[in-house]
Amino acid sequence: MGDLQVVGGIKKLNNNNYKTWETCMKSYLQGQDLWEVVGGSETTPPEEDVNGALRKWKIKAGKAMFALKTTIEEEMLEHIRDENTSKEAWDTFKNDTRLQLLENELLSISQRDMTISQYFHKVKSICREITELDPQSIITEARMKRIIIHGLRPEYRSFVTVVQGWPVQPSLVEFENLLAS
């Protein structure tokens, strides 16, 4: 029961606290001699031996998965329901949380004090990383352009309105060049 109280002392993972949760969980798992299972450096032994290596590994793997599942909010459990190992669960949290942070950043991005080139680069980088983490979430050039337009500084609005009235819309690269000139 003492172990459960320590795990219970870690603030449960939600959509806003991944870095804190990750740091605390990694320390906890290392202290419980479970990190190698979660980190992937200790994998399933191919077969049982005289020392009971497979049985011992299954116990460690079960403890690690239990620790992960009891330190997350209920809605986060859905993300790992189909994962078979604690490593898969850990990697899913890492990728899903990173994806959520990137999506949030993309929805709230604005040019502020960035140059046009820096701003376009930032938006393209975020979109590329989202696509790498979730290949089914490809962000089209048209959507990228809408995101960029939404976050531009006010002094570009009249120019953007003129460009949007053109019969043939410029590509993203052409649009960037027009704004930068």
What is the domain extent for residue 155?
A: 109-180
pLDDT the model gives residue 122: 96
Residue 53 covered by a domain: yes
* Tokens linked to 8: 């219970």
Report the number of distinct structural domains present in the chain: 2
pLDDT average, residue stretch 77-100: 90
Residue 153 covered by a domain: yes
> Is pLDDT at 8 greater than 70 in this prediction?
no
User: How confident is the model over 48-68, as pLDDT tens digits?
Assistant: 777 888 899 999 999 999 999
Same domain for 72 and 114?
no
Same domain for 51 and 18?
yes
Q: At which residue do the structure tokens 């570009």 appear?
A: 156
User: How confident is the model over 90-124, as pLDDT tens digits?
Assistant: 999 888 888 988 999 999 999 999 999 999 999 99
Same domain for 29 and 66?
yes
Same domain for 8 and 76?
yes
> Is pLDDT at 83 greater than 60 in this prediction?
yes
Residue 160 covered by a domain: yes
> Is pLDDT at 132 greater than 80 in this prediction?
yes
Percent of the chain with pLDDT strictly greater than 70: 96
> Is pLDDT at 3 greater than 50 in this prediction?
no
Last residue of a domain, one of 33, 49, 84: 84
Last residue of a domain, one of 51, 84, 117: 84
Confidence of residue 18 (pLDDT cuts 50, 70, 90): confident
Q: How far apart are the first and last CA of the chain?
A: 66
The string of DSSP letters for 40-104 reads TSS---SS--TT-HHHHHHHHHHHHHHHHHTTB-HHHHHHHTT--SHHHHHHHHHHHHHHHHHHH
pLDDT the model gives residue 61: 94
Which residues are within 8 A (CB) of 75 and not within 5 positions of it... i.e. 6 or more apart?
none
Confidence of residue 4 (pLDDT cuts 50, 70, 90): very low
